Each structure stands twice: as C-alpha cells, then as structure tokens.
Amino acid sequence: MTKGRLEAFSDGVIAILITIMVLELKVPHGADLAALAPLLPVLLTYTLSFVYVGIYWNNHHHMLHTVTRVNGKILWANLHLLFWLSLIPFVTGWMGENHFAAVPVAAYGAVLLLSGLSYYILGRALIRHHGENSKIARALGRDFKGLISVVIYAVAIPLSFVSRWTSVALYFAVAVMWLLPDRRIERTLGE
C-alpha cells in the first residue's frame, strides 16, 4: 500500500485543525483597541498552538518522507495521532478563555503529552514495518527530542497547580526546541 493517501488525508486534517483554531478568536463587539485586550491570551494560545501543529506537520512531513510503504497498523497509528491533535483546538480555547487557569493549563499539557506519545507510537510502527536498518530507523534513532518533550510535559502537568506560568513557559520552551530544524533526518537523507 502506498503512502500517498495517508499523507493527503493527514495534510487535510492538520490543515483544518490549524485553521479552525482561529475560529476561537471571536470577533469582538467593540471597535476600539480596548475590545482586543481580552483577546490577547486567546491570541497568545492560538500562536502557541499554531506553532505546535506546524511542528507536527513539519515532523510528519519529514518522517513520512523517509518511508515508502504503509499497512493497516500504520494507518491506525496515524489516525490515533490525529485524534489527539484534534483536541488541541479545544484545550487551546479552554486555556485562552480562562487566562491560563491551572486546570486548563494542565489539560493543554495532557493533550500535548498524548500527542507526543502517539507520534512516538507512529514512528515505532513505521520502523517495525521497514526494519531496524531502514532509513526511517536511522533517521528517528532513539528520538531523543521526542522523549525529552514527553518528560517535560509530564513535569509541566502537575506543576501547573503550583506555578501555572512555569508550565506555560515549558510549553513554549519545547516549541522553540522543535523549531530548530531536525538535523538527524536531514543528515540521514543527505547520506
């Protein structure tokens, strides 16, 4: 089975997710700058989630680039990833509208954690299908960045009840870490 439709479907879902989040930016009734003020936390979380979904699309693009075939298990591992990503607009809206209250901040981290785990599972399913010596296996390697992200989320979730801004700062830090291009895969491809 070829990967073409898997990529097309994932592109479609991710494109919709990254776009419908902007619907939470409800048009305010006032027409002055003060009307925008309550939207600032919503805009901030929108930007953070836009970057996160962008990172997932980017990494998904890189990861699928190195594989050639998919099977039923991979299709479902991919849908599993898309399920958790699909909850990002919900927790984004919840966190933004409640000005980074503790529980929504923890919920945001939980969805990031589960997205990260499902991405990891997808990577393993791809490696199992292509073999331990495949391009994808070498490209993903031990997936240090993926593991460290999951650890940081796991720390940030309980931390949100102590210092929610530290948790939010950790989410931003992970996003910045991923914004740096993934040299591992680019190096493997260049071999």
Burial (CB count <10 Å: 0-12, 13-18, 19+), residue 187: exposed
Q: Out of 37, 40, 83, 187, which residue is the one contacting its own copies (CB under 8 A)?
A: 83
CA distance 184 to 152: 21
CB of 24 to its own copies, least distance (A): 7
Q: Out of 38, 131, 141, 181, which residue is the one contacting its own copies (CB under 8 A)?
A: 181
Q: Backbone phi, then psi, for 2, in 5-degree steps?
A: -85, 165
The number of angstroms, rounded, from the C-alpha of 43 to the middle of its chain's C-alpha atoms is 18
Q: Based on the shown chain and the rule CB under 8 A, indicate whether residue 17 belongs to the binding site for its own copies.
A: yes
Of 93, 9, 89, 106, give the one whose Cα is nearest residue 53: 89
Binding mask 123-162 for its own copies (x = CB under 8 A): ----------------------------------------
CB of 38 to its own copies, least distance (A): 14
Q: What is the DSSP letter of 69?
A: B
Q: What angle is formed at CA 172 by the lines to CA 186 and CA 143, rounded to 5 degrees?
A: 35
In terms of CB distance, is 68 or 151 closer to its own copies? 68
CA atoms within 13 A on the CB side of 134: 20
Q: Based on the shown chain and the rule CB under 8 A, indicate whether residue 5 belongs to the binding site for its own copies.
A: yes
Binding site for its own copies (CB under 8 A): 1, 5-9, 11-20, 22-25, 27-29, 31-33, 35-36, 47, 50, 54, 57-58, 61-62, 65, 71-73, 75-76, 79, 82-83, 86-87, 89-90, 93-94, 97-98, 101-104, 107, 179, 181-182, 186, 189
